Amino acid sequence: MVSKQNNADFSLLANHIGGNVLIVEDEFVVANDLEIILEKAEYQVTGIASSVKEALDLIAHQKPDIVLLDIILQGQETGIDLAGQLSLMCIPFIYLSANSNQSIVEAAKTTQPYGFLVKPFREKDVLITLQLALYRHAHSVEAYLRKEQALQIALSDTLSSCGDWKQKLHQIGQLFQPFIPFDFLLAGMVGSQDSIPLTGLFRIGFEEFQYIGMHELSQMNGLAPEKVKDMLPEYSWEPGISEGEDFTIRKKSDPFTQLLAKTFRLESTLNQVIELTHGGLLVISFYSRQSTIYLGRHLSLLERLKNPLSLTLDRYLAFEEIEKLRQKLEQENQYLQEEVKTTVNFNEIIGESPSLHVVFDQVRQVSGTDTSVLILGESGTGKELIARSIHNLSPRKNKLLVKINCAALPPNLIESELFGHEKGAFTGAIDKRIGKFELANEGSLFLDEIGEMPLDLQVKLLRVLQEKEIERVGGKGPIKTDVRIIAATNRNLEKEVAEGRFRLDLYYRLNVFPIVLPALKERSEDIPLLANFFGQKLCKKIGRPFQGISDKVITELLNYQWPGNIRELQNIIEQAVIVNDGQSPLDLGRPLVNKITSNSSIGGLPSFEHPKTLSEVKQLQQETEREYILSILKKANGRIRGKNGAAELLNLKPTTLESRMEKLGISRSDI
């Protein structure tokens, strides 16, 4: 009994007239009969071919809707050979054959034809078989397109969802598995600052995968992670299939493919590299242990998915960039609010002394460059004001000047403050936080009290200055930065280097352009100007008239040694303003006594005399380097080359060390 649905289907078949048909038949009489039958039923015969080559030429000229295909043809290739290529082109076919050989029939079945017509055949049999084949093919294509659309939606949802890349890659592998077979899947994004780490999935079961990152891959092969990273190829966005001999050739020319093939016993690969509009490439590579598993339809699927995946990832990265900007603006706002609260108590550099004019000239010379500046001077000499002046006169003036006091933070927090951290990077890291380097991007970073930075952080800072990139604590990849460095210290860094508390290579990186600030006692002619400036400002702040400063007080101020420099002067004037009634000139109310002089020890550290000119700084730098190299040579018992030699201890080439020794006038007799 035929159901109503079946009756409806057959009704559709009966009404189906037309379509393009290619006849591949080497018997002229049979081919001619088929052509007459088809044209009578209003089908369009696109051509008649007697060999596989002729058939492919006709298909290249006009793609048919269906092919009537004889199994035995002229030439070495058979209809079964052509069937495989028709499947790749998604063209349905019906076999025509008078051959009842069981092995041929079984081979034909594996190609999944849409029907068999056994010679001789009736006109009715040809038309019904043809209509059924076209109907089945249309519905199979529709079903496949629905599955492909579902795959596209699921991939887009996965790529744009929250979660780390490891979790997303696992979901991507599960989604692709029914469509593209693989034993190893490699995916990631390269060539961009927002790179997604290139990561692999090794299939150990139908639903089970092993996560393989670059670190795991290096461990499996006993290689350094940097060496594996150096093996990564330069990707282009041309898709392709490499299998059999092609894959063997590729392994010889590509060290990374060779490493993967050796580790996981791989024999073929299918690659799709998608160019993204914001820059960078999305890499998706499927690998198999079978040499002939990837077909044209697999590559066609990836080609069709290319545009939607590119749009999804571009949109995801755009939202991520917006989120980064939001976080940065939030951090900038917070930073600027803190700056308002802790702003210095004067907004100009007051003074007309010759030593201060030397500083002004140096500031003007260096401001227009991106050169690192090292500001040297005793505490309270105005190092932060000079840093702000350099920034405000530079092309970066419209961006932030971000300040960090290296002495005010615990050692375990400095790294997080400088470079930021990811959520969960350490106990208490409940949110992702960008560091001062990211906050200062395209602006300037002022590293105050750089001499207090721990040695282990000095190494990381040196790497950032060399590579121009940072890595957040708990982060998975480098982040490019464009920051101008201004550092300051009241320590004698040459002495710190000689005693092993400050790295010589970092000192050279920072000390490109040193600016030495004079102590207040060295610019005594500026003391009256500064005292009056502070007096006016502080009286205005508390709403009290400023009646000037008596000559007696000015004389006292000039005779004082000022161990605390400008900051101490400001404090003394503030005390005088507080006790003043606003009716008379300011009086100190107590004599100034030099209990602590600039030549005594402050905080357990001996004071020092800074060099006054750039040439003096360079001379002291050479003397410091000479002493440092001599101390290493003595430690190495005078040996320059070989294991534990001075060159190895200094991480220099022996020839470079010998050249430096000659330049610094170090001879064997000095050791």
Question: Would you say residue 278 has pLDDT above 80?
Answer: no
User: Two tokens at 17?
Assistant: 């007239």
CA 133 centroid distance within chain: 52
- Beta strand 281-288 pairing with 373-376: unpaired
Closest C-alpha to 454, from 418, 483, 403: 418
The per-residue pLDDT for 594 is: 63
Q: What is the DSSP letter of 231?
A: H
pLDDT in tens, 9-50: 433 443 444 589 999 999 999 999 999 999 998 899 999 999
Fold observed for domain 350-518 = Rossmann fold (3.40.50)
Residue spans of beta strands (DSSP E) within 415-565:
420-421, 433-434, 444-448, 469-470, 479-480, 484-489, 513-516
CATH (residue range 614-670):
1.10.10
The residue length of the chain stands at 671
CATH 3.30.450.40 in the chain, residue ranges:
161-318
Provide the pLDDT confidence category of residue 254 given band limits of 50, 70 and 90. confident
Q: Residue 275 to residues 169, 238, 280, 303, 313: CA-CA distances in angstroms?
A: 19, 10, 6, 12, 10
Fold observed for domain 523-611 = Helicase, Ruva Protein; domain 3 (1.10.8)
- Average the pLDDT over each of 44-48, 473-477, 605-609 and give the range with the smallest value: 605-609
The residues pairing with 118 across neighbouring beta strands, listed in sequence order, are 97
Question: Would you say residue 380 has pLDDT above 50?
Answer: yes
The per-residue pLDDT for 12 is: 40
Question: Would you say residue 644 has pLDDT above 50?
Answer: yes
* Average confidence (pLDDT) over 140-159: 78
On whether the CB atoms of residues 607 and 601 are closer than 8 A, the answer is yes
* pTM of the complete model: 0.47
The angle subtended at Cα 410 by Cα 407 and Cα 413, nearest 5°, is: 115
Q: Rg for the chain (alpha carbons), in Å?
A: 40
Burial class (CB in 10 A: 0-12, 13-18, 19+), 662: exposed
CATH 3.40.50.300 in the chain, residue ranges:
350-518
Task: Give the span between the Cα atoms of 355 and 360, in whole angstroms.
Answer: 9
CATH 3.40.50.2300 in the chain, residue ranges:
4-143
- For domain 161-318, give the CATH superfamily: GAF domain (3.30.450.40)
User: Two tokens at 145?
Assistant: 């397109």
pLDDT in tens, 81-97: 898 888 777 789 999 98
Burial class (CB in 10 A: 0-12, 13-18, 19+), 100: exposed
User: Two tokens at 260?
Assistant: 């993967």
How many CB atoms are closer than 10 A to CB 131?
19
On whether the CB atoms of residues 444 and 397 are closer than 8 A, the answer is no
* Average confidence (pLDDT) over 526-540: 87
Fold observed for domain 4-143 = Rossmann fold (3.40.50)
HSE (CB half, 13 Å, CA atoms) of 388? 12
User: Two tokens at 355?
Assistant: 């030593």
The per-residue pLDDT for 293 is: 83
User: Two tokens at 406?
Assistant: 């290296």
* Average confidence (pLDDT) over 129-135: 87
pLDDT in tens, 178-188: 888 899 998 88
CATH 1.10.8.60 in the chain, residue ranges:
523-611
Question: Would you say residue 611 has pLDDT above 60?
Answer: no
Residues 6+ apart with CB under 8 A from 97: 70, 71, 72, 104, 108, 116, 117, 118, 119
- Identify the residue whose tokens are 């936080």: 433
Task: Give the span between the Cα atoms of 108 and 102, in whole angstroms.
Answer: 10
On whether the CB atoms of residues 462 and 417 are closer than 8 A, the answer is no
CA 75 centroid distance within chain: 56
